Amino acid sequence: MTTKTSSKINLKSLSRTNLEAFCADMKLPRYRADQLFQWMYQKEVNEFSEMTNLSKPLRDQLSEVAIVGTIGTASTQKSKDGTIKFLFELHDGHKVEAVLIPDFDEDGKANRLTVCVSSQVGCVFGCSFCATGKMGLLRNLTPGEIADQAIKINTISEEVYGKGITNIVYMGMGEPFHNYEAVIESACIITDPKSLGLSPKRITISTVGLTKHIMKMADHGHKFRLAVSLHAANDTKRDKIMPINHSLNLSNLKNAVQHYFTVTKNPLTYEYLLFDNFNDSEDDARELADIARWAPSKVNIIMYNNVAGVTLKRAGEERLDKFMRQLRDLDVRATVRRSRGDDIDAGCGQLAIREGVQKGKTIAKETA
């Protein structure tokens, strides 16, 4: 998606290829695209006047036709456990959230710093447990708006934890594969050596199960990791909480993940929110184990951050222990993911909703 502001083109709305095309249109050599890219995504410079390796006439020429749009930090909240939640404001006033989640070693030093980024303002898929799903979809983010979340948080991470980010997960607001091109492009920006230079293996893109795109990512040779938000292990239960399952059910998902593994040879991750008395029984564990065997995989059992107005609630510790024991007995590679930032509403979409996304509130009301 190309964003124009007052007839000027926003260079951060362009893919790398389109940035090169923009330079070619301006009769600039290819290395100028590299320089612009580096200024925007490595040095975080948004004013042409500060791009000192460009000549003054070129800077003036660029200022006449283009801008470097950026996202602003509207607010931050830090949790007792070190998690930092960011609310970013986009050029049109919409807000999205991202979270920095540190994992500490025995000496209390942060060794893994994961950023969870948003890919859309709101979401159209309406999963019943999700705060973002209540907003409806307002718009897609551009590649630059997605990459900027990680780049800005990387700088904060260096300041706060003395180390840059190590992993990125696309699990914030929105369904990443519903904004496929921008998401893939943003991940390519983040992995570019002239940006953060993160390894593709450290980037995980999550989906509710958009099968065409799971296969497309594999077929296009992208090395990013795949996570599937499963949350229920049979169609009857999944239909109840994830409307996507009506059109793309578990049998469609099975074909897609098997194709993904055949092509990439990469194992995948299933995300499974454990809800009290809904998907935490012995039968559920057995069905989940069957799914985990479709292709080499691991399962993250996630303790849910309860959301106001949602009937599904986080499962208790006893039920969690029993469920984990059953999975282990069934040879499933499963890990418990404790919810982080409980004291700051760090669950998907909670902060943006609390801060009030006006249009989103209207949509949620209209579709209620």
| Minimum CB–partner distance for residue 353 and ligand SF4 (Å) | 11
DSSP secondary structure letter of residue 75:
E
Residue nearest to ligand SF4 (CB): 133
Q: Of 175 and 192, which has the nearer Cβ to ligand SF4?
A: 175
Q: Catalytic residue, from 20, 97, 175, 271: name it.
A: 97
123 counts as catalytic: no
Cβ-contact 218, 256 below 8 angstroms: no
DSSP secondary structure letter of residue 212:
H
Q: Of 125 and 275, which has the nearer Cβ to ligand SF4?
A: 125
| Minimum CB–partner distance for residue 227 and ligand SF4 (Å) | 11
Q: Of 23 and 210, which has the nearer Cβ to ligand SF4?
A: 210
Structure tokens at 129: 């447990």
| Minimum CB–partner distance for residue 14 and ligand SF4 (Å) | 26
| Minimum CB–partner distance for residue 349 and ligand SF4 (Å) | 7
Number of Cβ within a 10 Å radius of residue 342: 16
Cβ-contact 340, 306 below 8 angstroms: no
348 counts as catalytic: yes
| Minimum CB–partner distance for residue 326 and ligand SF4 (Å) | 25
Q: Of 212 and 265, which has the nearer Cβ to ligand SF4?
A: 212
Amino acid at site 366 = E
| Minimum CB–partner distance for residue 255 and ligand SF4 (Å) | 20
Please state, in angstroms and as integers, the Cα–Cα distance from residue 93 to each residue in 90, 261, 367, following that order: 5, 40, 23
Beta-bridge partner residues of 303 = 274
Question: Cβ contacts of residue 356 below 8 Å, gap of 6+?
Answer: none
Q: Catalytic residue, from 23, 123, 188, 348: name it.
A: 348
Q: Of 36 and 184, which has the nearer Cβ to ligand SF4?
A: 184
Tell me which residues touch ligand SF4 (CB under 6 A). 123, 125-127, 130, 132-133, 173-175, 208, 229, 348
Q: Of 204 and 229, which has the nearer Cβ to ligand SF4?
A: 229
Query: Which positions are catalytic?
Result: 97, 348
